Amino acid sequence: MPPAPATAPFRKPIYTVSRRVKIIDRLSDLFIRLGGLGIIVIVTLIFVFIGLQTLPLFRPAQDKLLFAAQLPDTPAPERLLALGINEYESHLYYLDAAAGAIRFINTATKQTDRVVPLPTLQEHPAVSAYRSPARDKLIIGTADGRIVFATVSFKVDYGADNSRTVTASAQEIGRLEVDPEGKPLVQVHARMNNNGDFHFAAATADGRLFTGKFVEDEGGEAAPVPAQLVGRVNALAIDYEGNRFFVSTDQARLYQWYLDNDREKFFKSYELPSPITTMDFLIGDTALLFGFQDGKVESWFGVREQETDVLKPLHRIHIFEPLPAAVVKVQPSGRDKGFLAGGADGTVRLYFSTSERTLLNFKLGAGVRDLVYAPKLTALLALDTAREFQLHHVDNPHPEISFKALFGKVHYEGYDKPDYIWQSTGGTDDFEAKFNLVPLIIGTLKGAFYGLLFAIPIAVFAALYTSQFMHPSLRSVLKPTIEIMAALPSVVIGFLAGLWLAPLLEEIMVGVLLAGLAIPLVVFAFVCLWQLAPPSLRRRLPDGREFYLLVPLVIAGFMLAYWLGPQVDALCFKGNYKQWVFDTFGQQFEQRNSLVIGIAMGFAVIPIIFTISEDAFSNVPTSFKSASYALGASKWQTAWRVIMPTASPGVFSAIMIGFGRAVGETMIVLMATGNTPIMSFSPFNGMRTLSANIAVEIPEAPAEGTLYRVLFVAALLLFLLTFAVNTVAEVVRQRLRARYQAV
Amino acid sequence: MATPASKASSSSLTASGGIGRSLRRGEHLLWLSGSALALAFLLIAGLLVLVITSGAAHFWPHPLTMADRAGKPPVIGILTNEQEEKRDVEGNVLKTAQVQFKAGNRDLNGFDFVWVQAAELANFRTPPEIVALERQEYGDFYGFLDAVEHRGQVIAQGAEAWPALQREREGARALAAQARRLQKDDIGEVNMLMERERLRLRRAKLDGGAKINSAEAEAKLAAHHAEYERLRGESDRLAAQAAEYVAVMRSAEGQTKKVRLADIVRAFRPNQMTTTEKWGHYFSRAAEFVYGEPRESNTEGGVWPAIFGTVMMTIIMSIAVTPFGVIAAFYLREYARQGPVVRMVRIAINNLAGVPSIVFGVFGLGFFVYFIGGGIDRMFYPELLPTPTFGTGGILWASLTLALLTVPVVIVATEESIAAVPRGTREGSLALGASKFQTICNVVLPASVPGILTGVILAMARGAGEVAPLMITGVVKLAPELPIDGHWPLLHLDRKFMHLGFHIYDVGFQSPNIEAAKPMVYTTTLLLIVIIILLNLAAIRLRDRIRKKYQTGAF
């Protein structure tokens, strides 16, 4: 018996793999894996990076306590007036009412650097003072009804090694006798206009009010404002033009004047739930900041209720997070729409008006006495009633942004109602930046909407015809043509739309709109006639080659519409459809309007929708069609009732992808619209889209500034929107493919 | 699809006939859906015809028409447009009949184009002696040639003036060109050397050590400065010499205008040119368009720097995008385990192709320009700060941004072509003992090269046509220097560049004289479209060839 074939004896393989090949294989394996993963990581990085760039917008301000100390020679808190700090934060200063002098303290050594007595105050002691937040100017009310004006200045010298020496000085620049009765002026307020002229207001303890104007080197004058006030004056404010004047009393009354020429004519008084304890103007002198006895902090401004309003009635506009105790001080910033508020319990908060944000929040050891926001907004100085000074460093790069400021209705200064507005830059320093993305989002959707309105019918029906009815030999010519259409750069389409189509369309608008009707009519009429034609003629046009006849038919339809256009214009719109649009819709007709965008954007998305829908239609299994024909359905009935429903998810995903493209299209909208950010869906005006807005504004936006980051938010929105839309479309498509495979 | 069933159905239709029946069967709807395709076809055909006719007509020497105006001096110009009278129903004239002339002579009139009431015009004619001058500045001049002067002395008059103009113009132009060359090349060189010396000093200072002999450097600087002065003088002398030749021209209004011969790019009399001459003129201008430098804030002259910038950017982009795209595709197809994760990655990559290009631009600006470029500047170019070198838009950053934008195109095309390589081929290689990498290198990669090429060509076509992301990462309307020149290190990746697409946007929408710039924009558009269509056709051809190869490919 032959031995059973045992397991084959171990044999050396006939070939070996050299170490070198093995190593190369390993290395390349690693390399390609790393490379591939790397690409995928980079792709994710795009999203992460853009997201990271936007994050700082929503971060609160950071502060760092530099020192908290009792400073030498500090007088009793009520004798310490008009606290200030210079832009280098090298010196802080205040008016020492007891000494009638301005005292400078070096913040580094925390020692008194200089004491500058003001001559007038030596005989007429100070009782109140106001410091202008943007400039180091002081206005001081005395115990005998005078007002003294003083200026504080800092001279900077740079040493050889770039070291900085700051020399502080102060000077009295004028005085005025305001109250003929010589009573103490317990409240003073003043603003300066661009020429440096003061408009000031003052009140005595017995409720008499004065306003006036003072020009350095020229002097000034004051006049009483006749008033019957209820309660004692708590706070007052006058704007830089000396027109708008506000007074509040401890009986919860607020009085408003418009002083222009007639001092008694425009007057209004308000009863409030709680007395205003402190007030001031935000930069720009439009909005008033009120601090209330019950801790509320609000900003109010005049809103025109009737066209003829001179004295615009005050309305509460922004409400901020209230303080736990009575507000004792609001201190506006000299550069932006931010301000500080301090409470009787020592709470200090930094708010921003437009965004209604609370950016900082800390507490002093005792009640707040005075607050100062440094001129460059890099520091803040607080003094409490226990005479402790605190100096904080502030890092507050993007105060104007909040979720509401980006996406909600905001009542901007100077507007009569809350609105969605995008206006990132303005001409003046006190401009309130309006970073509302809603008009841009609306513009984006509007552009995409009109684009799809034009593209969907053309693309989907063209795809249906191409896949179902067209002869294959013709199809192989036409499909690459459409692919070429997809490759046309959008800058070309945008250029033609803006410089050629827009003016042309303005001329023949009525005709073009009619073409939408005329072309189908002409084709329809032809089909009817065609049925009547002798069969011998009809047979000369084989199935699937209707296209040859359709091209001239469409041209004929268009020519008909072109010819009818002026007639219809004359008949329905008196030969001037633009006037008609204006009369009917109250809307100016813009040359670069949404219809131009619709056609241009439609042109750009037709090939995408066409290609993907055509794919979906041709991939419907042939058995469906055969079954339908077998049951006696006609070609169209089969296409419409069988093919179309089956392929509809594919058409849907085609439209979604087309929408994604339309949303992100930049050059077409940039070139073919006026790029005005408006909130309107009207076809007769233009729009500004998110993408065009980025292209227009990012070259001017300083890196890491607020505008720059807001534009990153816009980019992120676009990214997320298109990514989401495309993902949905892709998933739908894959499902559809699986369904076809199952059949 | 022309299945037998469909034939049957249509023949039954023919047999029974009747409008009502055909409507019920939806014949008209079939035709209507076809008209959508016809419309799409007409749109694209119309666009191409418009661009080709408007773009190609730009160089043709159009006849100059002269017409008398009632009560005003006559007008000379090219007839460019006409407007018919338009009235509303009540007979109020909304628009009067007008004729548009391109009247040239911008320096005299302040405009190039003029609309004239048709009622004012009479006696249209084309006098053969009208001269058109294409000038270095202020656009065209149309009028009559009175004389040619040299240093204020008339050297030719009347009938002799024209040949004299042509003759002397050559010499004057040559002198002026020499002066310009000195100005640009030689003086530019000296300037660059001076700047380099200054930077060396600054850098040495920043490094803290006085390792550099400053006296020597100062002496070098002084020598360069002397050289600079000498060259300046030489160039000024040549320019002055060229400016001595002047043509005395007379406009339609009878105003006399002296034009320096050196400033005349072309002088021709369109009304008496033969067809051959016209074609000669046409091709000479077409050649200038392709090879020339732009003039008159890009509205005249050539687009060579823009062509160069576009091509160069596209090449850098392809160099960056190809390896990454191919490696990622090989990873996804050959190395990654197929499963839900890879499927998701694939969807993500597909979607990336749909992310708006401006988003990539924003990323490029934030990441490449400010983050990486700013970092490079701080590390390697501290002596130039705060003037940025890489920390501002440049051709490298623009190309990398576009590479990111087009990487999905390459990945998808490569994946497709890897998938098309038959399984048997791969298994055969493995069975013969080749390692995985050897198989990929020697079998799969060569087979998929055409596919990869298709992807790269498509990426190039997309990149060449993209404008939005470039606008914020380095394209400028006028770049004084090309990214490649004779100065070390020859290739200047930090430089800003010009681009055909941006050129269209800028000239068409940002230039002060849009009407005069339009023909130029059409021509640039034509050039861009031709480049892109050629690239796309190449890709389509290539793709079809691969498909055919593998459809029949029985390995």
Q: Could you tell me the pLDDT band of residue A14, with boundaries at 50, 70 and 90?
A: low
CB contact under 8 A, A546 and B31: yes
A476 domain-assigned: yes
Which domain range does residue A309 map to?
Answer: 65-404
pLDDT given at position B6: 41
Query: How far is the alpha carbon of B522 from chain A, nearest alpha carbon, in Å?
Result: 9
Per-residue pLDDT at B8? 40
Q: How far is A524 from chain B (nearest CA, A)?
A: 6
What is the enclosing helix (H) or strand (E) of A210? strand A209-215
Q: Is B35 on the interface with A (CB under 8 A)?
A: yes
A348: confidence class by pLDDT, cuts 50, 70, 90: very high
The DSSP string of B258-323 is EEEGGGEEEEE-GGG--HHHHHHHHHHHHHHHHHSPEETTTTEE--HHHHHHHHHHHHHHHHHHHH
Predicted local distance difference test score (pLDDT) of residue B11: 41
DSSP per-residue string spanning A322-341? PPSS-EEEEEE-SSSSEEEE
Q: Do residue B92 and residue B173 come from a single domain?
A: no
Helix, strand, coil % over all residues of chain A, rounded to 5: 40, 25, 30
Q: Identify whether residues B184 and B223 lie together within a single domain.
A: yes
Q: Is residue B529 part of a domain?
A: yes
- For A353-396, the pLDDT digits (tens) are 988 899 999 998 888 999 998 888 888 899 998 888 999 999 98
Regarding whether B536 and B420 lie in a shared domain, the answer is: yes
In this structure, are A396 and A451 located in the same domain? Answer: no
Question: Å from A233 to nearest chain B CA?
Answer: 54
Report if residue A473 sits inside a domain: yes
Q: How far apart are CA B419 and CA A559, in angstroms?
A: 50
Considering only A724-733, B1-10, B158-167, which range has the smallest mean pLDDT? B1-10
Residue A263 pLDDT exceeds 70? no
Which helix (H) or strand (E) element contains residue A203? Answer: strand A198-204
Give the closest-approach CA distance of B195 to chain A in angstroms.
26
- Retrieve residue A248's tokens: 């509040």
Judge whether residue B225 has pLDDT over 60: yes
Any chain A CB within 8 A of the CB of B431? Answer: no
Same domain for A388 and A496, yes or no, is no
A-chain CB neighbours of B503 within 8 Å are none
A428 burial level (CB within 10 Å; 0-12, 13-18, 19+): exposed
Q: Which of A21, A640, A730 sits opposite B350 (nearest CB)?
A: A730
Share of chain B above pLDDT 70, in %: 93
pLDDT greater than 90 at residue A2: no
Mean pLDDT of A534-545: 79
**Which B-chain residues 231-290 have CB contacts (< 8 A) with chain A?**
none
Q: Has residue A500 got a pLDDT over 60?
A: yes
Q: Could you give the CA distance from residue A276 to residue A314 in angstroms, rounded to a whole number?
A: 14
Tens of pLDDT, residue by residue over B455-492, are: 888 888 888 888 999 999 988 888 777 777 777 677 78
A-B Cβ pairs (cutoff 8 Å, strict): 360
pLDDT above 70: residue A732: yes
Which residues, 6+ apart, have CB-to-CB distance to B179 below 8 Å?
A: B235, B236, B238, B239, B242
The torsion angle over the Cα atoms of residues B490, B494, B495 and B500, rounded to 10 degrees, is 110
The better pLDDT of the pair A439, A479 is held by A439
Is B356's CB within 8 Å of A519's CB? no
Residues A148, A252, single domain; the answer is: yes
Mutation target for B interface from A612, A613, A635: give the one with most B CBs within 10 A.
A635
A225 and A324 together in one domain: yes
Verify that A494 and A396 share a domain, yes or no: no
Tell me which H or E stretch contains A202. strand A198-204
Both B371 and B228 in one domain: the answer is no
pLDDT above 50 for B126 = yes
Calculate mean pLDDT across residues A448-456. Answer: 93
3-state secondary structure of A379: strand
Residue A666 corresponds to which tokens in the numbers above? Answer: 């930049």
Please give the helix or strand (H or E) that residue B401 lies within, else none: helix B395-420
The residue that leads in pLDDT, B467 or B512, is B467
- Name which of A550, A626, A695 is nearest B471 (Cβ-Cβ): A695
Distance from the first to the final alpha carbon of chain A: 59
B190 with B334, same domain?
A: no
**Residue B15 burial (CB < 10 Å; 0-12/13-18/19+)?**
exposed
Q: Is the Cβ pair B467, A468 closer than 8 Å? A: no
Distance between CA atoms of residues A208 and A185, nearest Å: 9
Note the pLDDT tens digit of each residue in B341-355: 888 888 888 888 888
Q: Is the pLDDT score of A279 beyond 90?
A: yes
Residues A400, A465 within the same domain:
no
Rounded to whole angstroms, how far apart are CA atoms A709 and A54?
A: 5
Per-residue pLDDT for B2 more than 70? no
Residue B516: list chain A partners with CB under 8 A.
Answer: none
Whether residues B37 and A466 touch (CB distance < 8 A) is answered with yes
Kindly state whether residue A116 falls inside one of the protein's structural domains: yes
Q: Supply φ then ψ for residue B285, to 5 degrees.
A: -70, -35
Residue of chain A nearest B35, judged by CA positions: A550
Residue A57 per-residue DSSP state: G
Whole-number mean pLDDT of chain B?
A: 83
pLDDT at A743: 67
pLDDT at B550: 62
B363: which chain A residues are within 8 Å (Cβ-Cβ)? Answer: 46, 49-50, 715
Same domain, B371 and B475: yes
Q: State which of A337, A372, A404 marks the end of a domain.
A: A404
Q: With a CB-CB cutoff of 8 Å, which residues 520-549 of chain B face chain A?
A: 521, 525, 528-529, 532-533, 536-537, 540
pLDDT given at position B17: 54
Q: Are residues A351 and A456 in the same domain?
A: no
Q: Which of B22, B31, B299 to mutate to test the interface with A (most CBs of A within 10 A)?
A: B31
- Taking residues A254-272, report their average pLDDT: 80
pTM check: above 0.90: no
Q: Is B360 on the interface with A (CB under 8 A)?
A: yes
Task: Evaluate the omega torsion of the peptide bond into residue B489 and state whether it is cis, within 30 degrees of 0.
Answer: yes
Q: State the nearest Cα–Cα gap between B386 and chain A, in angstroms.
A: 14
Does B39 lie at the interface with A, CB-CB under 8 angstroms?
A: yes
pLDDT more than 70, % of chain A: 97
Q: Is B366 on the interface with A (CB under 8 A)?
A: yes
- Return the SS3 of A130: strand
DSSP summary character for residue A97: T
| Burial (Cβ within 10 Å: 0-12, 13-18, ≥19) of residue B226 | exposed
Q: Is residue A409 part of a domain?
A: no
Q: Are residues B352 and B431 both part of a single domain?
A: yes
Q: Do the chains contact at B38 and A551, CB–CB below 8 Å?
A: yes
CA–CA separation, A454 and A597 (whole Å): 10
Q: CATH no. for residue A78? A: 2.130.10.10
User: Which residue out of A492, A504, A546 would a mutagenesis test of the B interface target, given it has the greatest number of B Cβ atoms within 10 Å?
Assistant: A492
Residues A333 and A399 in one domain: yes
Is B472 in the same domain as B332?
yes
| Residue B205 in domain | yes
CATH number of the domain at B374, please.
1.10.3720.10
B55 within some domain: no
What would the DSSP string read from start to end of A269-325? Answer: EEE-SS-EEEEEEPTTSSSEEEEETTS-EEEEEE--SSTT-SSPPEEEEEEEPPPSS
B354 and chain A in contact, CB less than 8 A: yes
Whole-number pLDDT of residue A471: 87
pLDDT at res. B9: 41
What is the nearest CA distance from A310 to chain B, expressed in angstroms? 41
Q: Identify the CA nearest to B132 among candidates B312, B36, B278, B270.
A: B270
pLDDT for position B211 = 58
How many structural domains are present in chain A? 2
Name chain B contacts of A693, Cβ cutoff 8 Å: none
Q: Is the pLDDT of residue A297 over 90?
A: yes
Is A736 contained in some domain?
yes
Six token digits for residue B416: 């497709």
Q: What chain B residue is nearest to A624 in terms of C-alpha separation?
A: B5
CB distance A496–B509 less than 8 Å?
A: no
Q: For residue B47, is it within any domain?
A: no
> For chain B, how many helices (H) and strands (E)?
19, 15
Residue range A468-478: average pLDDT? Answer: 87
| pLDDT at residue A237 in the model | 92
User: Does A455 lie in the same domain as A378?
Assistant: no
- Choosing among A21, A34, A46, A577, which should be mutated to test the B contact, i.e. which has the most B CBs within 10 A? A46
Please indicate, yes or no, whether residues A400 and A467 belong to a single structural domain of this protein: no
Instruction: State the total domains in chain B.
Output: 3
- For B319, how many CA atoms within 13 A lie in the half-sphere containing its CB? 7
**Residue B124: what pLDDT?**
86
Q: What is the mean pLDDT of residues B415-423?
A: 86
> Of B76, B97, B130, which residue sits at a domain end?
B130
What pLDDT score does A656 carry?
92
Separation CA A84–CA A377 (nearest Å): 13
Candidates B355, B363, B525; nearest CB to A664: B355
Tens digits of residue pLDDT in A200-250: 999 998 889 999 999 988 888 888 888 888 888 989 999 888 888 999 998
Classify the C-alpha dihedral B11-B17-B23-B28 as positive or negative.
positive
| Same-domain pairing of B516 and B424 | yes
B207 is a domain residue? yes
d(CA B498, CA B502): 7
SS3 at position B97? coil
Q: Which of B9, B404, B525 sits opposite A495 (nearest CB)?
A: B525
| Phi/psi-derived region of residue A231, left when phi > 0, alpha when psi is between -120 and 50, beta in every other case | left
Is B31 within 8 Å of A635 when comparing Cβ atoms? no
pLDDT value of position B102: 87
Out of A158-162, A492-496, A610-614, least confident range? A158-162
Q: Could you tell me if B37 lies within 8 Å of chain A, comparing CB atoms?
A: yes
Same domain, B404 and B497: yes
B positions 76-105 inside 8 Å of A (CB): 86-90, 94
Task: Check residue A342 and give its pLDDT.
Answer: 93
CB A344 within 8 A of CB A325: yes
Lowest mean pLDDT among A244-248, A408-412, B183-187: B183-187
Q: Strands B294-295, B300-301: parallel, antiparallel or unpaired by DSSP?
A: antiparallel
- List of residues 6+ apart from B128 with CB closer than 8 A: B269, B271, B272
- Asked if residue A7 is part of any domain, the answer here is no
Establish if A205 belongs to a structural domain: yes
Question: B351 in contact with A at a CB cutoff of 8 Å?
Answer: yes
Quick check: is B177 in a domain?
yes
pLDDT digits (tens, 9 = 90+) for A679-701: 888 888 888 999 999 998 998 88
Same domain, A395 and A454: no
Per-residue pLDDT averaged across B537-543, rounded? 82
Q: Do A470 and A557 sit in the same domain of this protein?
A: yes
CA distance B166 to B257: 18
Structural domain of residue B198, as residue ranges? 148-268
- Cβ-proximal residues to A630 (8 Å cutoff; 6+ apart), any chain: B5
Tell me the two tokens of residue B204.
């040495």
pLDDT band of A264, cuts 50, 70, 90 = low
Q: Of A376, A404, A432, which residue constitutes the final position of a domain? A: A404
- pLDDT mean over A588-609: 89
Which runs of E-coded beta strand occur in B1-152?
Answer: 65-69, 72-83, 86-87, 93-95, 98-102, 113-117, 121-125, 131-135, 140-150
B458 shares a domain with B515: yes
Distance in Å, alpha carbon of B401 to nearest chain A alpha carbon: 11
pLDDT of residue B209: 56
pLDDT on residue B358: 93
Task: Answer whether B2 sits within 8 Å of A626, measured CB to CB.
Answer: no
Please report the pLDDT score of residue B448 as a whole number.
86
* B121 plus B177 within the same structural domain: no
Q: By CA distance, what is B13's nearest residue in A?
A: A634
In chain A, which residues have their Cβ closer than 8 Å to the Cβ of B507?
Answer: none
The distance of Cα A6 from the centroid of its chain, to the nearest Å, equals 84
**pLDDT at residue A646 is higher than 80:** yes
Chain B residues in contact with A710 (beta carbon < 8 A): none
Residue B28: which pLDDT band, with cuts at 50, 70 and 90?
confident
Determine the 3-state secondary structure of B508 from DSSP. helix
ipTM over 0.95: no
Whether residue B59 has pLDDT greater than 80: yes
Q: Length of chain B in residues, anyone?
A: 555
- Indicate if the pLDDT at residue B337 is higher than 70: yes
Say how far apart CA A134 and CA A335 lie, in whole Å.
Answer: 7
Chain A residues with CB under 8 Å of B537 CB are: 484
Instruction: List CB contacts (< 8 A) between B22 and chain A.
Output: 527, 531
CB A498 within 8 A of CB A601: no
Per-residue confidence (pLDDT) for residue B235, from 0 to 100? 86
Looking at residue B167, its amino acid is: R
